[in-house]
Structure 1
Amino acid sequence: MSEGQLGLAGAAAIGLGGMIGGGVFSVLGVVVGIAGPAAWLAFTAASLVSMCAAYSYIALNRVSDTNGGSVTQLEQFVGNSTLAGMVGWTLLFGYVGAIAMYGFAFGEFAVRLLPSLGLGLPMRPVASVVAIGLFVGLNVVGARATGTSEEVLVGLKIAILLAISLWGLYFGWQSGNYTLTAGLSEAMSVGLVTATAVSFVSFQGWQLLVYDYGSVKNASETIPKAIYISIVGAIVIDSLVALLVVNLASRQTIMNHPEIAVAQAVEPFLGQVGFLFVAVAALFSTGSAINGTLFSAANFTKNLLSDGLVPDQLGSADADGAPARTVLALGVASAAFSAFGSLEGITSFGSLAFIVVFGTMSWLAFSQRDHDEVSAVWPALGVVGTAAFGPILLWHLATAQPNVFTTVVIIAAAVVGVELLYFERESIEEGVQSVAKSL
């Protein structure tokens, strides 16, 4: 995008577009399956903790010498390149998880719209890999939605989701065949807290704006407003759609096919046409989320390359735009994760990564509370929230999904191990040489 192209509406559309793709069309069924009627409360709680993290990013940029994201701020305020690099890698793997999640949802909707080709292949993983591959190709050749097109697409998605949510809830109330509930009786349940932790991956879309300062008009004022608008918008949309799903779709149906929960919820009042309509909207939404997240993750990686925080083999920091090798590497990792992972495993891994990063940035902002521009309250809430939800997420996986827990722990341990080997490679090499000499 050309410099200065995005105004407030375009910037907010980019943040909200990713969160709708993640919250409504990807992770909603998983959250509803855990929290039941209180799913909308889970989304709201996660978004509020995410908003505390967003405040932390914004406040740190106000008191820093440069505008940027987590790595830039950690390097400036902590001065520890190893810590900054490890957080950068964690965020990068979180983006891989988010892209894989979007790809998984895209594949599920695609196989229900397209006839079976009779190839004897598991078509959902194939569709997911093809979708991610398509957007890898588009990013390699430099194609990306403009601010205007993003505004139009997100505006259409919001209008569609608001319309079907309100129409569906009215239908449920007017028909007399449904007992509508807001799930307030489960406001203190373990399921609600667990679902909140799982849903964190759906609230990372606003973070993409942190890396778009050069593409936004009057960025220092526009981006904070756009971030808050997009988070509030996501709360409204996610909550309404969650209420629609829990009231019009059966719990068993949601448990069996969580990835298409929204499309199932519209069938009682819109029939098969409604299912197809929502499925098409989901393809556009998850597709644009793949494209936008892949683009931002590639440019984020380019910044890491410039700082020497990732291996040069991942791409060139001097490339014009997103390095092709970087896009390909991210695409391959995301496609593999989407093809072989389960939806709950993918969402849990992504949520865990963003919980760690959001908690770290909230802590960093809290440490800078002596500045007049930084309030201690919101960063403190961000620290407490992420510190609580991280262990809860792991406990849920260990007790309810032991296989997923094992996979997530192994991947997380491998990521941390690789990070330590990379950032402490000189110290390790010196230690090995010292031992060798002593022998």
Structure 2
Amino acid sequence: MGEQFGLRESVAIALGGMIGGGIYAVLGVVAGIAMYATWFGFVAAGVVALCAGYSYNVLNALGDQRGGSVSFIQEFVGNSTLAGMVGWSLLFGYIGSMAMYAFAFAEFTLGFAAVPDSYAGVPLRPVVSVLAVALFVVLNVAGARVTGSAENVLVAAKVGILVAFGVWGLVYLAPVSGQPVRLGFDRLTGITPIVAAAISFVAFQGWQLLFYDQERIEDPTETIRKAVSLSIPTAVVIYVLVAVVTTNLAPQAIQHHPHVALADAASAMLSYFGLASLGFLVISISALFSTGSAINATLFSSGHFAKKLVSGNLLPDQLADAEADGVPDVTILVLGLVTAAFTAWGSLGAITSFASLAFIVVFGSVSVLAFRQRDAASIHPVPPAVGAVGAFAFAPVMLWNLYHRERHTFWMVLVVAVFVVLVELLYFERGELEDHVPDGVEDGVEEAVERVGDGVDAVGDGVEDVVDGVGDSTDDRDESDDEP
């Protein structure tokens, strides 16, 4: 079975999935809305995420299947269409998360003075984002991955940097600089903190990756329960620390270039020691490393998730070979291509909102499902109720905010969401549709489907050629390394 993960490794994976890139990608967007009340948005989102985590855990213990939200719906509802739509929504949420990480990766890259914003009139942000995605597609195809004890070290480093940032930031704010710590209590009466919570929800999605790899976890039901219960509150504390420090030390940066405001805050606090540039450098490098590793880990996990959807007949067979060992290369490439398109043409606000919306729907649905099972002796009704009400309250608030603040982003998110739902319905209800379609039209549809299938096969052949080329070049390099 290979390496077995205990509680420490499970907490590291869950915490790494949340801390990995979420705070660097989301903080600027949320702070631009809630400013000094940003911390409250993270607290509210964390409470709803913790209640959703409770729902996941009790369903995992109650059911016979293992595998997360899709398996829960299949077992407790028995509706394959609903299960497939949740699976597709979750997969698009992962794609949105990777696009968000790639966007943040590029923003921190361009934050260095030596890197220009554009070259020959071409903006470099989309270019850097797409190159970041391409890099980790190649690494995943080549089989590069970090797990187990190495994950412990990586997460400890990322968490340690952010905790040190938050603790020293609080020390610097009050005793050293003499600045009062502003917490934005005057903003807690309006709708703004709820909007902030809704948008930041995507920063709390990493814990549920544990449910897709249970065969590698010792005593998975109990270990995952403890890991989720520990990791989400820990992430909340870190997010609150970072949010309070950043909004107080870099309010101008949040207004003018919010995506790298955290690095500006680090620069401000280390200026006391004459090390302003070092603070900016450390946080920026940490951000690059964290967002990069988050792309890599999410690509790997979403590839496995897509393969499971194919094996359950919830995705087209052309996207993966369910019998293959590991994640098929074509799956990684397709996920990478869609992610690259999202991160190249979308704004960070649109990407973050879309990804958060996807996870809000999925986590809310699982909370509803757990609430329906409340008669079971092991399920307390309050956490699932809070998770469901909180999640489904976030969705309309987020859309309302986008409609009034960013009309273009609102329509972009709405169009993508409607498109995804229509494609899901066409795929899962295609049998019902065929029964009501005239023969001539049905023939045309079948011909179109065959052409799409031929196109997918052609893409698959192209991927195999690329992979073979990468493999050949790797073999040549290995042979040259072996020569005296």
The alignment's TM-score, normalised by the length of structure 2, stands at 0.87
Task: State yes or no: 1:74 paired with 2:79.
Answer: no
**Percent of paired sites with the same residue:** 51
Q: What per-residue deviation string (whole Å, max 9, x for no partner) do you get for residues 98-154 of structure 1?
A: 000011111111222353484543211111111111111111122110211111011
CA shift, 1:277, in A, is 0.8
Gap change, CA 1:17 and 1:240, over 3 Å in 2: same
Match of 2:330 in 1: 325
Inter-partner Cα distance in structure 2 for 1:119 and 1:149: 41
The corresponding residue for 1:62 is: 61
Provide, for residues 279-336 of structure 1, a one-character-per-residue CA deviation record: whole Å limited to 9, x for no partner: 0001111111111111111101001000111111211111110111111111111111
- Superposed counterparts of 1:226-245, under 5 Å: 226-245=227-246
Counterpart Cα distance in 1 of 2:330 and 2:418: 25
The answer to whether the aligner puts 1:349 opposite 2:354 as a matched pair is: yes
Return the match for 1:281 from 264, 286, 293.
Answer: 286
Is the CA contact (8 Å cut-off) linking 2:162 and 2:242 kept in structure 1? yes
The correspondence for 2:306, drawn from 291, 301, 310, is 301
Q: Which residue of 1 aligns with 2:158?
A: 157
Q: Do the aligned residues in 2 keep the contact of 1:22 with 1:201 (CA within 8 Å)? A: no
Distance 2:119 2:437 in 1: 56
AA partner of residue 28 (structure 2): G
- Please state how far the C-alpha of 1:436 moved relative to its aligned partner: 7.2
Contact 1:56 / 1:378 at 8 angstroms: preserved in 2? yes
The one-character-per-residue Cα deviations of 1:219-259 (angstroms, maximum 9, x if unpaired) are 12111111121101100110000011111002x42132221
Aligned partner of 1:376: which letter?
A: P
Superposition deviation, residue 177 in structure 1: 5.1
1:115 matched to which residue of 2? 115
Superposed displacement of residue 186, structure 1: 2.5
User: Secondary structure of 2:437's match?
Assistant: helix
Match of 2:202 in 1: 201
Structure label with greater radius of gyration: 2
2: CA distance between counterparts of 1:429 and 1:33?
Answer: 48
Structure 2 contact 30–38 (Cα < 8 Å) conserved: yes
Contact conserved, 2:7 with 2:223, CA < 8 A, in 1? yes
Render the CA deviation track for 1:350-397: whole Å, top value 9, x for unaligned: 010011001110011111111111111111111111121110000000
Larger mean CA deviation between 164-173 and 39-48 belongs to 164-173
- Name the residue aligned to 1:369: 374
| CA-CA distance at 1:178 after TM superposition | 2.4
1:44 matched residue in structure 2: 43
Aligned pairs, how many?
435
| RCO higher in structure (CA 8 A, sep ≥6) | 1
1:77 aligned partner, one-letter code: F
Letter in 2 for 1:404: T
Rounded to whole Å, the distance in 2 between the matches of 1:255 and 1:224 is 40
User: Using a 3 Å threshold, how does the CA distance of structure 1 residues 261 and 436 change in structure 2: closer, same or farther?
Assistant: closer
- For the aligned residue pairs, the C-alpha RMSD in angstroms reads 1.6
- Whether contact under 8 Å (2:21, 2:287) holds in the other structure is no
Question: What does the per-residue CA deviation read over 1:387-430, in whole Å, with 9 as the maximum and x for residues that have no partner?
Answer: 21110000000010100000000000000010011011111111
| Structure 2 Cα separation of the partners of residues 38 and 157 of structure 1 | 24
- Residues of 1 paired with 2:441 and 2:9: CA distance? 59
SS at match of 2:122: coil
Give yes or no for the alignment of 1:269 onto 2:301.
no
Q: Is the CA contact 1:3–1:216 (under 8 Å) kept in the aligned structure 2?
A: no
1:433, distance to aligned residue in structure 2 (A): 2.9
- Aligned partner (choices 338, 341, 352) of residue 336 of structure 1: 341
CA–CA separation in structure 2 for the residues paired with 1:227 and 1:382:
15
Q: Report the more deviating stretch, 96-105 or 260-269.
A: 260-269
Residue aligned with 2:433, SS: helix
SS at 2:392 equivalent: helix
Q: Displacement, 1:21?
A: 2.9
Partner of 2:86: 87
Q: Distance in 2 between matches of 1:402 and 1:115?
A: 32
CA distance in 2, matches of 1:133, 1:354: 25
Contact 1:103 1:290 survives alignment (8 Å): yes
Q: For residues 423 and 333 of structure 1, what CA distance do their matches in structure 2 show?
A: 21
In structure 2, how many angstroms separate the alpha carbons of the residues matched to 1:176 and 1:154? Answer: 31
Aligned residues of 1:22 and 1:203 also touching (Cα < 8 A) = no
Residue type of the alignment partner of 1:269: M
The letter of the residue matching 1:264 is: D
Moved more, 194-203 or 428-437: 428-437
Residues 40 and 239 in structure 1, CA contact (< 8 A), matched pair in contact too: yes
Q: Residue 297 of structure 2 corresponds to which residue in structure 1?
A: 292
Task: Compute the TM-score of the two structures, normalised by the length of structure 1.
Answer: 0.96
Is 1:418 matched with 2:418? no
Taking structure 1 as reference, are residues 414 and 283 closer, same or farther at Cα in structure 2, changes over 3 Å only? same
Matched, 1:398 2:397: no
Three-state SS of the structure 2 residue aligned to 1:321 is coil
Q: CA deviation at 1:4?
A: 4.2
Counterpart code for 2:56: Y
**1:27 & 1:364 partners in 2: Cα distance?**
29
- Runs (5+) with no aligned partner, structure 1: none
1:72 maps to amino acid: S
Residue 341 (structure 1) shift? 0.7
1:435 is displaced (CA, Å) by 9.8
CA distance in 1, matches of 2:14, 2:255: 29
Partner of 2:211: 210
C-alpha deviation, 1:189, in angstroms:
2.4
**Is the contact made by 1:200 and 1:351 (CA closer than 8 Å) also made in structure 2?**
yes
Any conservation in 2 of the 1:302–1:322 contact (CA below 8 Å)? Answer: yes
3-state SS in 1 of match to 2:20 = helix
Pairwise CA distance, 1:213: 0.3
Structure 1 Cα separation of the partners of residues 438 and 88 of structure 2: 28
- Following superposition, the deviation at residue 84 of structure 1 comes to 0.4
